[in-house]
């Protein structure tokens, strides 16, 4: 296989009831991954993923370990077929999956840690006080202006949270400030400003208590140097050491997700094939917006696995 493959791991919002059930029925390694996760968190995370109910799966402290487990089960099925990454990145929570893939973190440690991370993020801001909004087709500089003006006017926190693609930036903060910044963004020429149905204002300064909890949790774990370079959300650059990985995982709780920079770093490092590993196709869609020349497959179930394996086996001349 001549491709230099980069694995992309999804974050919160990609969950669906029934995710990975089919792969777990078909592959013992996927079933074993869920059994390991169930033991790590002390309840049947597998049942929650496979059967729901959706309202429980949507709870942040459940969503995060659920998506991580689905991603790692899928990763292990790919490894069974000889498909291994040379590089990795993950969006927000997905950065933890990327570090499990890179061997930086043990899977069971990561599952327990992201459950604690999710709970801390949920508790950091009382329900209804924070918000997030997606701003479409406005430059990051103009979005920063809108956030600064809204913060000044309201006396509340709002800032860019996710630089998802050249056409999409998400802002986060206190609800009134986010609503004001969204209004200002539209007046500056944004095509749309859409409030998002989220349970907390992720990736902004209001998440400081959660960042402190993540730092505490990570201080109890032994991290290894990543076997492969992993893109860090908070800088957009690649990390190669255990200390840099830990620092990046801590700082991303309040820091913005620089996803455009992450993808560009992977391409600069030689990635010429991307595989989204885990539920949904969000990152495949963003990659098309960031760099349409890149090829991206996704693997989430048996059908997408077979399709990806067929494409990977095809001679390059057939592309």
Q: What is the pLDDT of residues 208-224, one digit of tens each?
A: 999 999 999 999 999 99
Catalytic residue selected from 46, 159, 199, 203: 203
Task: Please state the pTM of the whole predicted model.
Answer: 0.96
What is d(CA 288, CA 120) in angstroms, rounded to the nearest whole number? 33
In the predicted structure, residue 316 carries a pLDDT above the cut 60: no
What is the rounded end-to-end Cα distance, in angstroms, of the chain?
14
203 is an active site residue = yes
Q: What is the mean pLDDT of residues 196-212?
A: 95
For 108, the token pair is 């069971």
Q: Which H/E stretch holds residue 89?
A: strand 87-90
The order of strands in the sheet holding 130-136 is 158-165, 168-174, 130-136, 192-195
> Which pLDDT band holds residue 232 (cuts at 50, 70, 90)?
very high
Instruction: Say what the pLDDT of residue 315 is.
Output: 67
Interval 8-51: pLDDT, tens: 999 998 999 999 999 999 999 999 999 999 999 999 999 999 99
Annotated catalytic residue 92 = yes
Close Cβ partners of 187 (under 8 Å, ≥ 6 residues apart): none
Question: Average pLDDT of the chain?
Answer: 96
Cα 206 to Cα 143: distance, rounded to the nearest angstrom: 19
Quote the radius of gyration of the chain (alpha carbons, Å): 19
Q: Which of 171, 99, 117 is nearest to 140 (CA)?
A: 171
Q: What is the mean pLDDT of residues 239-250?
A: 98
92-120 average pLDDT score: 98
DSSP symbol at 209: H
Q: Which of 14, 92, 159, 165 is catalytic?
A: 92
The pLDDT of residue 158 is above 90 = yes
Convert the pLDDT of each residue in 112-139 to its tens digit: 999 999 999 999 999 889 999 999 999 9
Q: What is the pLDDT of residue 198?
A: 86
């Amino acid at each position: 296989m001549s491709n230099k493959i980069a694995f992309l791991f999804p974050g919160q919002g990609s969950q669906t009831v029934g995710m990975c059930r089919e792969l777990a029925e078909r592959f013992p390694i996927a079933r074993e991954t869920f059994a390991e996760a169930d033991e790590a968190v002390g309840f049947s995370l597998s049942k929650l993923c496979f059967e729901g109910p959706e309202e429980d799966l949507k709870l942040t402290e459940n969503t995060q370990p659920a998506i991580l487990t689905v991603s790692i089960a899928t990763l292990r099925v790919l490894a069974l077929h000889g498909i291994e990454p040379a590089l990795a990145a993950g969006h927000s929570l997905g950065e933890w999956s990327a570090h499990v893939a890179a061997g930086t973190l043990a899977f069971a440690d990561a599952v327990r840690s992201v459950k604690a991370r999710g709970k801390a993020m949920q508790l950091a801001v009382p329900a209804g006080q924070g918000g997030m909004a997606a701003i479409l087709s406005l430059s990051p500089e103009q979005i920063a202006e809108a956030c600064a003006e809204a913060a000044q006017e309201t006396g509340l926190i709002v800032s860019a949270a996710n630089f998802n693609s050249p056409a999409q930036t998400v802002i986060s903060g206190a609800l009134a400030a986010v609503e004001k910044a969204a209004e200002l963004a539209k007046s500056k020429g944004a095509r749309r400003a859409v409030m998002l149905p989220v349970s907390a204002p992720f990736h902004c300064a209001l998440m400081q208590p959660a960042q402190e909890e993540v730092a505490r949790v990570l201080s109890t774990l032994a991290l290894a140097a990543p076997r492969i370079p992993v893109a860090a959300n908070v800088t957009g650059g690649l990390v190669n050491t255990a200390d840099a990985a830990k620092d990046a995982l801590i700082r991303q709780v309040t820091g913005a997700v620089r996803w455009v920079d992450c993808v560009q770093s992977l391409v600069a490092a030689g990635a010429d094939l991307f595989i989204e590993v885990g539920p949904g196709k969000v990152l495949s869609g963003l990659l098309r917006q960031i760099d349409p020349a890149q090829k991206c497959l996704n693997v989430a179930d048996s059908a997408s696995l077979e399709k990806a394996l067929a494409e990977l086996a095809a001679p390059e001349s057939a592309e």
